[in-house]
Chains A and B, each alone.
Chain A
Amino acid sequence: MDVKRQQTIKRAAEAVPGGTPIEKAPDPDLGHDLIPAERYTSKEFMQLEWDRVWTKTWLLGGRSDDIPEAGDYICTNIGKESVLLVRQKDGSVSGFYNVCLHRGNRLIPEEGLGSVAEEDGVFRCSYHHWAYSSKGKLLHIPDRETFPQGAPPCGRVKPVKADEWGSFVWFSLDSDIEPLLDYLGVIPQHLNPYHMERMAWTRDVTVEWDCNWKASVDAFSETYHVQGIHPQLKWYLDDVNVQYDCYDKHNRYLIPFAAVSPRVQLPSIMPPLIAGMMEAAGMDPAEYEGPISGIREALQKFKRENGPEQGKDYSELNDEQLTDDYHYTIFPNVSLNVHSDDVMMFRQRPHPTDPNKMFYDIWMFELVPEGEKWPERVRHQIFRHGDKTIGQVLDQDAFNLPHVQAGMRSEAFEGLWLGDQEIRLRHFHRTLSDYIYGNNGPGEGDI
């Protein structure tokens, strides 16, 4: 690799009891074939994804704490569909399609949060006031006797499976799908120690991007691009000593933060982003007397010692999790950077009709120290690519992706030529193939 020096990154041999597993998972044999570019550009493949992925997997719907009371709901869209995820009186969440059985109107016109608590849990279509229960059961048709054929015999809007894990609400359009926890596999064991339920919204943004949703998943699945489009991060993280782990459907990588990339010489002064990380933890960079290469471990030690009095319980986290980025992809479309004090996650949704577009949801949460007031929820913002900044690093990704998509459509580009650092992309495509073509993979003529 193109490095200037060798760097040893200390990782604990084993996790704290009940903590996130640290050990490297064996690399699966995923071959070295091209990933066909058509997967990113073709409408046929997009339709296959709809039929065999989006309607057959558990999907992230929203945050549990956004719907605390009975009658509170999340309205969220996937492809051409929109669903309602509603808190019930018994505390569970029920889901149903956001559509009125009468003339097809959306019961709730736009994505977002709301409540029908004041309507006694009744969803009333705005068009002709057909009324539905909080589980989607048809309750009332105005002028019922003018429908000689009677009410629709199903008696309800088609249900959607809904469940909760990790302070998030999940749903599936597949009524026969395995239970959520089975689907998530290793993920709860890995992420429960972070206690995401102790974190509050700091950012809720949706941006329409001019690329296929998978181009976005790819962009967050390797650190090989750091030296390309995020040069400033070389003085913040070690993009070379990265551990890649592929599990059943999901995968992760572990990136040392508060470290300088071996691609550059160690500077003699404190890199500003690392100083910022120390300051955020309550550590004074000016007081630090050790070498730049010792900051990561010093910061871990400081957080371990000072966490409790800052109201931050790190007891279930391993030392390296106090500094490093543990990045997971929950198949198909959730990418999360989890840190001891915050989570930065992306939900990458396909456009309803155009494979060259997607919706990029940025969800960020920050640990609320014990005893501190739970902050007011941030407002959801929606804009188009390029209208506003989403922060330097994400802007760099966002600037790049439309060009990637444009190039993928070129006659001169056959497919993705991936290296070892991009094993998560191969693993993601393997899982995608499993869903689309079954476990024997694509056949003759398949994309």
Chain B
Amino acid sequence: MDLGLKGKKAIVVGGARGIGYAIAELFAREGCDVAITARNDDSVKDAVANLKKYETKVIGKGCDVTDGDEFKAWMEWADEELDGVDILVPVTSASGGLGSLKYWEKNFKVDVMGPVRAVDAVIEGMIERKHGSIVLIASTSALEDMGGPQGYNALKASLITYGKQLGLAHGKDGIRVNVVSPGPVEFEGGNWEMLKGAMEKFYQSLIRKQPEGRFGKPEEIARAVGFLASPAASWCNGSHLVVDGGFTKNTHF
């Protein structure tokens, strides 16, 4: 199946490591020009250097998405460098945290306002060009209990609602918006690699919930995102795809 991604232009916010990097890599491999950012400028530089092997245009620089002005300027820079953006996937997250109210603020600033600002920056251009594809990244933590009641879980849930309504509002403009909820994903330098060592019992209790006895890999999330982002998914709009290897137990009718 040809995804039809060749020649498209994609922005991946939080594309230097893990799931975000795997998504950026899939786009580059499929022939897209790609812009990436992350908070750490060095890791963005490394990622850009690695992605250049696919011989498309790959650009990136560090940016703090919680700084509205800085992030807006970055989005404008990326949009201009790519000469208009077809695909947007905002991935950045402040991750979980239980106990302090501060975690709610952090998750709101990064997990909610990050995607909201990114969408805000590209939506006018997409409307003008009459096409665009946006994939938001929620989490299975929005669907089932994970580590206790916390901002990350509740605010990731808000992206599922936002994505659906964004898709409904802009279908007429030729813009599709879909949401992917990954289950736990393990990779080197990722949180689960650390928790495997640092909180082994918690880690093992979750591994037992996976029918295949392992967590997901970044590229397994990236392939689902890549499909939904691509013209091959032309009739997917407002959908929510759980990609978790059977981690969640609820049946969706």
Contacts and interface: CB of A to CB of B under 8 A. Distances in A.
A235 B200 CA distance: 12
A284 B97 CA distance: 12
Contacts of A4: 188
Contact of B100 (A235, A266, A269, A284): A284
Given A286-B97, A286-B102, A264 B193 contact: yes
A268 B199 contact: no
A272 B193 contact: no
A264 B189 contact: yes
Nearest to A284: B100
Contacts of A270: 97
Contact of A236 (B17, B40, B191, B198): B198
B66 to A, nearest CB: 9
B8 interface: no
A427 interface: no
Main secondary structure of the interface of A (DSSP, over half): loop
Contacts of B197: 231-232, 234-235, 264
B204 interface: no
B95 A287 contact: no
A235 B102 contact: no
Contact of A286 (B17, B100, B189, B194): B100
B190 interface: yes
B191 A268 contact: yes
B185 to A, nearest CB: 13
A273 interface: yes
Main secondary structure of the interface of B (DSSP, over half): loop
A285 B94 CA distance: 13
B9 interface: no
A367 B195 CA distance: 30
B106 A267 contact: no
A266 B189 contact: yes
A19 interface: no
Interface residues of B, number: 22
B189 A287 contact: no
Contact of A265 (B97, B100, B102, B189): B189
Nearest to A392: B200
B211 interface: no
B99 A267 contact: no
B100 A232 contact: no
Interface in A207-258: 231-232, 234-236
A293 to B, nearest CB: 10
Nearest to B92: A268
B28 to A, nearest CB: 22
Contacts of A232: 197-200
Contacts of A21: none
A3 to B, nearest CB: 13
A271 interface: yes
A229 B193 CA distance: 16
Contacts of B191: 267-269
Nearest to B18: A268
A264 B195 CA distance: 12
Given A232-B197, A232-B198, A232-B200, A268 B100 contact: no
A286 B106 contact: yes
A271 B194 CA distance: 7
Contacts of B103: 286
A235 B99 contact: no
Interface string A272-307: 110000000000111100010000000000000000
Contacts of A231: 197
A265 B198 contact: no
B230 to A, nearest CB: 28
Contacts of A267: 189-191, 193-194
18 contacts: A231-B197, A232-B197, A235-B194, A235-B197, A264-B189, A264-B197, A265-B188, A267-B189, A267-B194, A268-B191, A269-B95, A271-B194, A271-B198, A272-B199, A284-B100, A285-B97, A285-B100, A286-B102
The 5 closest A-B pairs by CB, nearest first: A265-B189, A286-B100, A286-B102, A267-B194, A235-B198
